[in-house]
Structures are given as structure tokens and as C-alpha cells.
A and B are shown apart, each in its own frame.
Chain A
Amino acid sequence: MAKILVVDDEEHIRLLYSEELSEAGYEVITAADGHKLIERIETEKPDLVVLDIKMVDYNGLDLLQEIRNKFYDMPVILCTAYDTFKEDIKSIAADFYVIKSFDLTELKKKIATALETHIPSS
């Protein structure tokens, strides 16, 4: 069972994602902010991170950079309520992005694709 780490400062979003993604067959762990996120990833070893861009004390795009620099191949999906984030070039380091919605169909599709990505070792 793939393990997904959801990072979002809104509790109802964390609850919604936990419920829906668990029902879809994933193991879900959550974080309310970016505090010690890298250590958390190192300890919990998720297969994929779903990352909110605008959090009260953290910028998701900066966290994305930190994750990328440490975990070169970790799939990361950015979630946002606004699509203006695409103006920041850092966003292209994400595997995918989705606009936040209560319908998680798109997110589930992107999660499945990101987990399916395969590059063989040489």
C-alpha cells in the first residue's frame, strides 16, 4: 500500500484528503505545516507528498525545493486554490499540480500517474 504524506495547514482539508485517499486504498499521514518536514519524510518514508502551496507560515514552493534537493525522485503534487502560482518558475519542479476541490477525482488521477512513473536504473 502506497503511503501518502499530505501537507496542508487547513484541518478540514487534511481530514477530507485522509478519508478519501484512505478509501482509495492509500495509507495517509498528514502534517499541518512545513516544520521539520524533511526529517518527517526521512523517518516516515512516504511514497508521495501532496503539498499545499499557501500555508500560513510556509511557502509550499520553497518546501518543494527543499524536498527536491534532498529526495531527488520523490513524487510531489502541488495543491492550490489559485493557479497564479504557475508564474513562479519553481513550480515546475513538481510532478503535477491540482487546483483544490472537494472532488478529488483529479488529485487521485494524478497520484496514480505519479506513482506509476517509472525510470529503470541503468
Chain B
Amino acid sequence: MSLAWLLRRLLLMAYTMLVVSVLVFAITQVLPADAAVTLLGQNATPAALAALRQKLGLSDPVWLQFWHWFWALLHGNLGTSMRTGLPVGPTMFTALSRSLLIAACSILLMLVVAVPLGVLAALRRGRALDLFAGLVSYLGISLPEFVTATFVLVVLADHLGWLPATGYVPITKHFVDGVRHLIAPVLTVSLVLIAHVARMMRSETIDVLASDYVRAAELKGLARRTVLLRHVLRNALLPVVTVVALDVGYLLGGIIVVEEIFAIPGIGRELLIAIQNRDLPSIQAGALIMAGTYAVANLLADIAYALLDPRLRYD
């Protein structure tokens, strides 16, 4: 991994964010909403509306509006919410921190479950465990989050009564209660991740098991444990890094739905509320922050991949 590679990668990310911000701005421009009406209400006088439009710069040409917005963005100013009148940035980043907690827990749970499940399924091909892993995978990739979340609610909260139904308690405030509120959303979000990664892990392990270097290691008389840990697992895990990064995209999409269902004030829920209220600055900020999070996840995955794979280190 050379400095030039890293610079090129960062430049690409900057370009990505530029395109995303143009796109997000364009989409919100087309939104059937008049900011002045949203702020002053339906009964405002035409004169008041015109004055506010002038003040907000709504009568400027679109490219100038974009430039003002983008310039403020570069200075870390994401605008003021039309719904609450509060600055959008702090609200969104607080919400993001809650979402990231769910995301991190889900990825952790996924790694703990999916990696062993995939490897074991590959080692016991065609047997009961393999079939079970296959079934879980198909369920995971075929059930949308709102269905999984509802099933989880029916079983764990309603029938068994093990978990609180909805709501959010910060773990800094009350740890045990906070964790109890996190379980159902994390289970929901991680199911689809487990499905993807277990499948990937299984097919990669099968490939690696059939490779020459594993056969050589076995013929050398290395213990099976050593072969599995040092040769098979290490090589099979590599492509999984990329899959996990791509899955962050699914995860962020899924989190919108999961936060809505479990009433968690994360970035997804903020964004949905913003969309329902046509709160343009909040929509723009929420969408940008989500895309930015995804871009950073991909960058980290690329760096991790370069660090893990010695072949890529010297190009």
C-alpha cells in the first residue's frame, strides 16, 4: 500500500461525495415542496412568503443555491431544520452515533456467528449443518427487514415477553435496559448480514480447501487444526472483508426500516421524519451523512484488504 495509492483512493472518495452531494441536492430540488410555505404555513400572506424566499435565497438560480449550500457544507454547516429550527448537523450526528452502535453490534454478532457457521458448513458439506446454514442464508437474504423485525417482535417481545417491544434507552444512562432495547434491532439487522457472509465464507472455504497450498500443508503432515486456522481461515477471510464493506450499504438501508419499527431515534428514523415533513436541509444532511458513512466503510475495507493481502502491498 503506497502513499500514491492512498491519495488516489482519497481523491476518488472526494469525487464520490461531490457527485453524491450534487445528486442529493438535485433530488431535493425536485421535491414538491416550497420551503417558504413549509416554514410559514398555508395561511401566510404572499408578501411574507416573497420576503422569506428572498431571505432564504430561494429566488436565486439553482446553481447559485447549490453553491451557497455546498460552500456552507464545506465549512461544516449543514443548515437549519425547517421542522425544529435547530441546526441539522448536531441532530444528525447524534442520531448517527445511535445507528452506529446498532451497526457495530450487528457486525460483531455477524462475525461471531457467520464465520464459524460458513466454515463448518463447508467442512460438513451436504450434511445437516450445511443444509441448516443454507436454509438460514436463504431466509436471511429473502426476508425484508420489516418482515424480520415484525416476526422478532411477535415471538420475542409479544409471545415470550423476553424483550421490550420498542423504544430506545441510551446505554450510558441505564446499561442493562439499554442493552435489552438493542437486542431486537441488532438481531433483525444482523440476520441478513449473517446470511450473506455465511454463504460467502462457505464457498470461499470450499475453494481454499481444494487449493494446492492446503494440500501441500496437509501432505507436510501439519495438524488439521493448524492447517484450518493458519491456511484455510486466513485465506477464506480475505474476500469477506470486501463483502462486509459492501454490506454496510444494506445495513444502512436496513437500519432505516429497523429504527422506524423499533422507534429508535437514529439517523434512519430522522431521515424518514424529514422526508415525511419535507424538511429539505434534514433530508440533504441525512442522505449525505449516510452516503459518507458508506464511503468511509469502503475506504477502511480497502485499506484492511491491502494490509491483509501481501500481494497488494507493493503496487
Partners in one complex: no
Residue positions of B touching A, CB distance < 8 A: none
Chain A residues at the B interface, C-beta cutoff of 8 Å: none
